[in-house]
Amino acid sequence: MKTGKYLQGIVLSLVSIVVAVPVVQAEEPATRAAAVSFGTIVGVVTNAAKIPVGGATVTAVRAGGGIRSTVSSSDGVYSFADLPPGVWSLTVQVDGYPEASVPSLQVVPSKATRRDVVMNVPAAVPAVTPSVAALPPAAPPGSAGTAGETDSSLGVGRARLRLSFSADSWVDVHDSAGRRVFAGSGRANSVKTLGGNAPLRVYLGFASGVQLELNGRAVAIGPQFVSGDVARFEAGADGVLRRDAHSMPTNGAPPSAAPPRG
């Protein structure tokens, strides 16, 4: 009788152990998940004279997926919090400076990674003041520029483009003097800001994958500027798109993205 009770006690003990083991195993993943934490990237954007640059668009892209964007404050400070650990790259864009990039930053859990970015000042372009005789005649009332016009006197001034890419697209931009402002690829889910003396001559290799802002205002790329999803136009300082009467240089452009013939 005593032996039976003793065996019964052993069986009950074994059953309790078998039931308890899955509970311990089930709790382990939750404990491990709680241990995973995020990291931070912080820094200051300055120019070559160490003066803070405010209003710069800073974009962080994670290898393997993930993108964040922020704007530097008036004292040049930017920061990204709660970043998943891994390798991140940075691009910094602001009007008046060439784009700066940081190709590889290791984000470590529960730590802040500091990376300051210096924007190099582009070479100064001498200003050209036209003589009185060279000024175009005043336009009669009611003849303000509209999309599609090619009068070179229209849209003259400083223009700022902001290109938001929903798909990869080739980009080629020249200023009014024919100097190349940018040539290269815009990646999907990224933003590129460009500026220069207008009218800017713009060539987009995949127009339907690009949203355009001109001097802070969204502008639709009309069908008159598109051929086979390749867009070519002039962007004026007055916020108007016009047909590009020039032949767009295609240095470095892929053959499949050759600009349409006028």
Contact 166, 188 (CB under 8 A): yes
Query: Do both 155 and 247 map to the same domain?
Result: yes
Query: Do both 157 and 249 map to the same domain?
Result: yes
Residue 139 lies in a domain: no
Encoded tokens for 225: 């500027």
Which domain range does residue 16 map to?
1-35
pLDDT at 52 (0 to 100): 94
Query: Do both 17 and 57 map to the same domain?
Result: no
Query: Do both 58 and 4 map to the same domain?
Result: no
Query: Do both 25 and 1 map to the same domain?
Result: yes
E strands in 37-107? 39-47, 57-62, 67-71, 77-83, 86-93, 100-107
- We report the CATH number of the domain holding residue 44 as 2.60.40.1120
pLDDT at 244 (0 to 100): 83
DSSP state of 52: B
Residue 100 lies in a domain: yes
Encoded tokens for 193: 């800001």
Instruction: Find, among 177, 172, 169, 122, the residue nearest to 152 by Cα.
Output: 177
Those residues of the chain that have pLDDT short of 50 are 3, 6-7, 10-11, 14-15, 17-28, 30-31, 33-34, 123, 125, 130-136, 138-150, 248-262
Residue 234 lies in a domain: yes
Residue 159 lies in a domain: yes
End of a domain among 71, 101, 119? 119
Residue 210 lies in a domain: yes
> Three-state DSSP class for 247?
coil
pLDDT at 122 (0 to 100): 61
Query: Do both 24 and 63 map to the same domain?
Result: no
Contacts of range 219-222, beta carbons closer than 8 Å, 24 or more positions apart? 222/147
Buried-exposed string 93-107: b where 16+ CB fall within 10 A, e elsewhere: bbbebebbebeebeb
Name the one residue in this structure whose structure tokens are 């798109």: 241
Looking at the DSSP assignment, which residues form a beta bridge with residue 184?
171
pLDDT at 5 (0 to 100): 55
Query: Do both 159 and 236 map to the same domain?
Result: yes
Query: Do both 104 and 12 map to the same domain?
Result: no
Write out pLDDT tens, residues 79-128: 999 899 999 999 999 988 999 999 889 999 999 999 999 998 764 545 55
pLDDT at 153 (0 to 100): 66
Kindly list the distances between the CA atom of residue 125 and the CA atoms of 129, 174, 175, in Å, as whole numbers in the listed order: 13, 14, 12
Name the one residue in this structure whose structure tokens are 């009185």: 132
Number of domains within the chain? 3
Query: Do both 204 and 245 map to the same domain?
Result: yes
Query: Do both 244 and 175 map to the same domain?
Result: yes
pLDDT at 152 (0 to 100): 52
Q: How many CB atoms lie within 10 A of CB 108?
A: 14
Residue 124 lies in a domain: no
Q: How many CB atoms lie within 10 A of CB 10?
A: 9
CB burial class (10 A; 0-12, 13-18, 19+) of residue 33? exposed
Residue 135 lies in a domain: no
Residue 134 lies in a domain: no
End of a domain among 78, 103, 119? 119
pLDDT at 13 (0 to 100): 52
Query: Do both 172 and 193 map to the same domain?
Result: yes
For the sheet with 67-71, list strands across it: 67-71, 57-62, 86-93, 100-107
Query: Do both 194 and 242 map to the same domain?
Result: yes
